[in-house]
């Protein structure tokens, strides 16, 4: 079986660098707003199960500021074995082959001003008997602006078009389908892109060309997020809002919480693999209402 360890390490190093760039930019926005808020970082170690030794862990980054009411940027790298019940649901895993590694970055930002869109972004690299990348980004505005939606999608379309024919159409449709709340019959935002199981051939069979291409695309997704989202924040963060608009934001956040607790696969993966509870649930808003 292919030893993916060097590739996992390269992906981990990139995810950590992306985190550092994002956190620095978000702190810069806080300074522009007259706030001294900064990220606080908390390392954690994955809970081991019977028979496991070193199982990895991660670092939770959290900031509560004037512009970013609550933003979490987490990087984790974990490995071990899936439970027999969970293994069957994971690409390339089974009861007979339950081993896995996973490294990735996950970000959720809930904004103080309802005119500023909330956002989610993650990219990841996983291995079982297979190896693949996944990730994406989606915009979640309580008060949607067509200009913001168009610019967000245009940025990711340009990235997708540069890396694969049909990527944007496929991954936009996947996001529209995935980020949907069936019991509410509404989407949780205005979409973006979502991709998974972007599989990599074993390096010995293609000289790692497939891995390199998929890694390049995944890095571009992260770079695109770092480019476009701060633009949208700066565009809207100074707009005045009233009590009714704040109430609309809080009600929308309730829908966001429902999706993440009921349908989100990343939440389930973290809980099923012994992840850090605080880091997993950092996606939940700091305040929400259900009318």
Instruction: Give the DSSP per-residue string, 239-267.
Output: ----HHHHHHHHHHHHHHHHHHHHT-HHH
Q: What is the CA radius of gyration of the chain?
A: 19
Active site residues: 120
CA distance 11 to 198: 14
- Location of structure tokens 């984790």: 76
Question: What sign does the CA torsion over 95, 79, 206, 121 have?
Answer: positive
Separation in Å, CA 149 to CA 46, 83, 138: 37, 40, 10
Helices (H), the chain: 5-32, 84-87, 146-163, 167-178, 203-206, 209-236, 243-262, 265-272, 277-280
Q: Residue 119 in contact with residue 285, Cβ under 8 Å?
A: no
- Could you give the 3-state DSSP secondary structure of residue 133? strand
Q: Return the structure tokens found at 27.
A: 């702190």
């Amino acid at each position: 079986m292919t030893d993916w360890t060097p590739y996992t390490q390269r992906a981990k190093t990139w995810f950590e660098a992306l985190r550092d760039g994002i956190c620095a930019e978000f702190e810069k926005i806080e300074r522009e707003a007259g706030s001294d808020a900064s990220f606080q970082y908390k390392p954690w170690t994955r809970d081991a199960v019977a028979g496991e030794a070193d199982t990895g862990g991660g670092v939770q980054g959290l900031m509560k500021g004037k512009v970013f009411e609550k933003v979490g940027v987490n990087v984790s790298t974990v490995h071990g074995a899936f439970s027999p019940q969970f293994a069957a649901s994971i690409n390339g895993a089974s009861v007979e082959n339950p081993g896995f590694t996973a490294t990735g970055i996950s970000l959720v930002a809930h904004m103080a001003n309802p005119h500023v869109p909330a956002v989610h972004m993650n990219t990841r690299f996983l291995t079982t008997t297979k190896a693949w990348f996944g990730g994406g980004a989606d915009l979640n505005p309580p008060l949607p602006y067509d200009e913001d939606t168009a610019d967000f999608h245009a940025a990711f379309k340009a990235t997708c078009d540069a890396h694969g024919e049909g990527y944007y159409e496929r991954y936009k449709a996947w996001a529209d389908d995935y980020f949907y709340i069936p019991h509410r019959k509404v989407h949780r935002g205005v979409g973006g892109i979502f991709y998974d199981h972007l599989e990599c051939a074993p390096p010995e069979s293609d000289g790692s060309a497939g891995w390199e291409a998929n890694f390049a695309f995944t890095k571009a997704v992260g770079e695109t997020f770092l480019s476009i989202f701060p633009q949208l924040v700066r565009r809207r963060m100074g707009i005045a809002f009233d009590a009714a608009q704040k109430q609309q934001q809080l009600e929308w956040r309730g829908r966001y919480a429902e999706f993440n607790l009921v349908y989100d696969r990343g939440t389930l993966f973290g809980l099923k693999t012994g992840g850090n509870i605080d880091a997993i649930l950092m996606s939940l808003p700091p305040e929400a209402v259900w009318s």
